[in-house]
Structure 1
Amino acid sequence: MNETNLTGGEDQSAGDATESRLPEFNNRINPRSPGEALRPERVPPPPARSNQARHPIVIIMNFAMTILVVSVLGSAGVFFFGKMRFEERSHFDQPRTIVVDRGSGLADIAEQLHDRGLISSKWIFVGGVRVSRLQNELKAGEYLVPAHASMRDIMNMLVSGKAIVYSVTIPEGLTSQQIVDRLNADPILLGEITAIPEEGSLLPDTYRYSRGDTRQNIIDRMLREHDRVMTSVWNSRDKDLPIQTQEQLVTLASIVEKETGIADERSRVAAVFINRLKHNMRLQSDPTVIYGVYGGAGLPSGTPITRSDLDAENDYNTYKIAGLPKGPIANPGKASLAAAANPSRTKDLYFVADGTGGHAFSENYDDHRKNVARYRDALAKQKAADGAAAAAEAATDAPGAGPGDAANDATDPPAANATSAADGTGPPIEGEPAPGMPTPIPKP
């Protein structure tokens, strides 16, 4: 009984399972031909989307994520493309110059570089500089861009500030007015000098600058360099000098600078003036006479010192005043400042040109007069030689002139001129000394 019921129950369950599979079998398509038997069965449709997937927030988030992915991929592509263009070699095969003015912004610089044909895209250049965070580091100046330089090379050049360097040389011994005139004549420098600096406050030297620099900036640098050098010289000076202030030291150095252009003589020339100051002797320096009469403009070319110049009453004429003049008469260089601060230890009180470009020094007036006589003999011989050369040239260029006529005339200088400079009875002759006074030589 129980087994019969169990079997019947199993048959009932199997029948139910069979009936549950009947729809699947009923939906199968019976092939009508071998070709249809090879065709795949119909794929069941995808399951219906859930209500959660169709929620607006989910849709918006999916859209935003898609946009973000596309943007990241696009940005990465643009970045690598721009980086490649930023670092690739340029097409121009000759070096070119570019002038970056002061105050120019990144966009202005990029525009100028593009106009000059130095970069292929100003936008890529701007982007590359900004990505490098160097937009505020670009420096003004004139730059020489080498051939085939990349945009990165140009950026690094502008950041380094290694512009084309120019220089202006200010010789020692120029007055402040002459220095200003020289700077004004420089075609590269810009702007105007606001005021002529005080005499002796500038340090002559060679100053380097780049295009776009101003004349006033050069003056300011000369002032700073003078103060720096002067501080060092003053601290190392000989403490026995009859010099009380830095200005007096500069004044003495300016006289030394104008008296000799020979390096080995500076300290000895300075010693002569120091010894004269200690002996309460007048300095009797021609350059002080010139400055007292002509000021910062200097002695006009070819103009000799006259008796009226020596007799002029002013605060610079050391033939008339005792001690140092009112102030410097020029801007001395480092060597003259050092010589004035530490002069040679000699007893010399006089010096005069020796006819060979240097000077002869002496401790007393008698030896000085002998040196003057030797100088006058050397000067006369030089004039005779120059006259003979001129006569020979004139004889060659002018037929009919008697040989030696011009030379004979040149070797007979007037008697008055032969003694006027030596004894002080007449106006000095250009280039000839008066006894008891140092005599300048032309600076090389």
Structure 2
Amino acid sequence: MSRRKTKGRALARGLVLLLLLALAGALAYGWREFSSFSEAPLNVQAQGQSIDVGRGSSLKEIVAQLRAQGITAAHPLYWRLLAEQLRVAGRLHAGEYALSAGMTPRDLLSNMAAGKVMQRNFTIVDGWSFRELRQALGKADKLRQDSAALDEAQLMDKLGAAGEAPEGRFLPETYAYVKGDSDLDILKRAHAAMSKTLDALWAQRDKDLPLASPYEALILASIVEKETGRADERPRIAGVFVRRLRTHMLLQTDPTVIYGMGESYAGNIHRSDLTTDTPYNTYTRAGLPPTPIALPGKPALEAALHPSGGSELYFVARGDGSHVFSSTLEEHNRNVACYQLKRCQ
């Protein structure tokens, strides 16, 4: 073999080696870049930021959306390689996904593959009226408004509760929902939750209550709910009303009068309001009003079904959110003079 041929082969081997080293270096560099991309936080600028993936969106379209929103600047090839590595290519679910500080591309694709869509919460507040509930639902973020054009009868029919008065029928709790859910979905869940809770509590009620049905318990609980926000007072106030019902005394509770006044109530109740008869005026009509006057929470329901014992028949507000209780009209009048008229003796 000639010297020239040997030299040429050595040179060729050297070039191949250099190419292999260059390729290995490029692969190592690419792998470092890819690893850095997959583990580096996305560019999330604000709390509550999200990406909305439409039904049928491809990975290419999702990445284009992320790039357009400034969430990533990485080349789409990196996203494709990551999706293949995670084995989620073609398995990304539609929906709205939360973007949080520190979230990586790996986290986001994993969430999309698992369908971990962004959840929001809607809280029904103890003591709201049904009208207030509907107003709050109308302002809920990303919630489809399917009940806005329905009157109360049509709405209850949609919920499978035709003929029911809606007041009091929805349990105050926090309900999770996702973008695209309907306000009717939340109302249906809250209605079912109230029915289930009321039935369970009614089955465990104290004996000999002057209540003929779970619905009467719901009405009484709504009055208790509006009379006090203090947990320690609910059973005592329920006890006052239960004793009044037993002895056929008028309930004489202002929240029922206010409810009966409807939109004419301007923030103050006058003596003339107490003598103006409505179906809800418990100063002019005996017994419970015809429907609840608010949405009672579970604690108010429990108080109505397990009222405190004793002889108290009256209570008056102290002005600090609490009440003073009494068993006789004479004692009650003194309390009224002291706490309402500021004529304490």
Superposition TM-score, scaled by structure 2 size: 0.72
Q: Which amino acid aligns with 1:241?
A: L
| Offset, 1:349 | 1.2
In structure 2, how many angstroms separate the alpha carbons of the residues matched to 1:159 and 1:115?
21
Please point out which of 340, 362, 371 is paired with 2:304: 340
- Determine helix, strand or coil for the equivalent of 1:263: coil
- The corresponding residue for 1:403 is none
Is 1:260 the counterpart of 2:228 in the alignment?
yes
Is 1:203 the counterpart of 2:159 in the alignment?
no
| Offset, 1:134 | 7.3
Task: Work out whether residues 319 and 339 of structure 2, in 8 Å CA contact, stay in contact via their aligned partners in 1.
Answer: yes
- Determine helix, strand or coil for the equivalent of 1:254: helix
Q: Which amino acid aligns with 1:282?
A: L
- The corresponding residue for 2:93 is 138
Larger Rg: 1
In structure 2, how many angstroms separate the alpha carbons of the residues matched to 1:230 and 1:298?
32
Task: Work out whether residues 126 and 225 of structure 2, in 8 Å CA contact, stay in contact via their aligned partners in 1.
Answer: yes
- Determine helix, strand or coil for the equivalent of 1:313: coil
Q: Which amino acid aligns with 2:285?
A: I
Across the aligned residues of Structure 1 and Structure 2, the Cα RMSD in angstroms comes to 3.3
| Offset, 1:193 | 2.8
Task: Work out whether residues 129 and 135 of structure 1, in 8 Å CA contact, stay in contact via their aligned partners in 2.
Answer: no
Deviations 1:184-219 (A, max 9, x none): 233443434354460001112333444554433332
Task: Work out whether residues 347 and 363 of structure 1, in 8 Å CA contact, stay in contact via their aligned partners in 2.
Answer: yes
| Offset, 1:89 | 1.9
Identity, % of aligned pairs? 35
In structure 2, how many angstroms separate the alpha carbons of the residues matched to 1:182 and 1:310?
30
Task: Work out whether residues 253 and 332 of structure 1, in 8 Å CA contact, stay in contact via their aligned partners in 2.
Answer: yes
Task: Work out whether residues 83 and 89 of structure 2, in 8 Å CA contact, stay in contact via their aligned partners in 1.
Answer: no
- The corresponding residue for 2:44 is 95
| Offset, 1:288 | 0.9
Q: Which amino acid aligns with 1:369?
A: N
- The corresponding residue for 1:329 is 293
Evaluate the alpha carbon distance shift between residue 191 and residue 366 of structure 1 in structure 2; reply closer, same or farther with a 3 A threshold. Answer: same
- The corresponding residue for 1:231 is 199
How many residues are matched? 294
- Gap runs ≥5 in structure 2: 1-29, 157-165
In structure 1, how many angstroms separate the alpha carbons of the residues matched to 2:240 and 2:130?
26
Evaluate the alpha carbon distance shift between residue 286 and residue 89 of structure 1 in structure 2; reply closer, same or farther with a 3 A threshold. Answer: same
- Determine helix, strand or coil for the equivalent of 2:37: coil
Task: Work out whether residues 142 and 210 of structure 1, in 8 Å CA contact, stay in contact via their aligned partners in 2.
Answer: no
Task: Work out whether residues 145 and 154 of structure 1, in 8 Å CA contact, stay in contact via their aligned partners in 2.
Answer: no
- Gap runs ≥5 in structure 1: 1-81, 382-444
Evaluate the alpha carbon distance shift between residue 102 and residue 310 of structure 1 in structure 2; reply closer, same or farther with a 3 A threshold. Answer: farther
| Offset, 1:287 | 1.0
Q: Which amino acid aligns with 1:264?
A: D
Task: Work out whether residues 352 and 360 of structure 1, in 8 Å CA contact, stay in contact via their aligned partners in 2.
Answer: yes
| Offset, 1:319 | 1.5
In structure 2, how many angstroms separate the alpha carbons of the residues matched to 1:241 and 1:285?
19
Task: Work out whether residues 88 and 113 of structure 2, in 8 Å CA contact, stay in contact via their aligned partners in 1.
Answer: no
Alignment of structure 1 residues 70-85 onto 2, 5 Å: none
Deviations 1:283-338 (A, max 9, x none): 111111111121xx5833x3x22344223332211112211110101101111011
Q: Which amino acid aligns with 1:274?
A: V
In structure 2, how many angstroms separate the alpha carbons of the residues matched to 1:168 and 1:109?
29
4+ residue runs over 6 A deviation: 82-87
In structure 2, how many angstroms separate the alpha carbons of the residues matched to 1:86 and 1:341?
64
- Determine helix, strand or coil for the equivalent of 1:141: strand
- Determine helix, strand or coil for the equivalent of 1:202: coil
In structure 2, how many angstroms separate the alpha carbons of the residues matched to 1:230 and 1:313?
30
Evaluate the alpha carbon distance shift between residue 124 and residue 330 of structure 1 in structure 2; reply closer, same or farther with a 3 A threshold. Answer: same
Superposition TM-score, scaled by structure 1 size: 0.58
- The corresponding residue for 2:253 is 285
Q: Structure with the greater relative contact order (CA < 8 A, sep ≥ 6): 1 or 2?
A: 2
- The corresponding residue for 1:248 is 216
Please point out which of 265, 284, 287 is paired with 1:299: 265
Q: Which amino acid aligns with 2:249?
A: M
In structure 2, how many angstroms separate the alpha carbons of the residues matched to 1:321 and 1:299?
19
| Offset, 1:106 | 4.1
Please point out which of 214, 219, 223 is paired with 2:187: 219
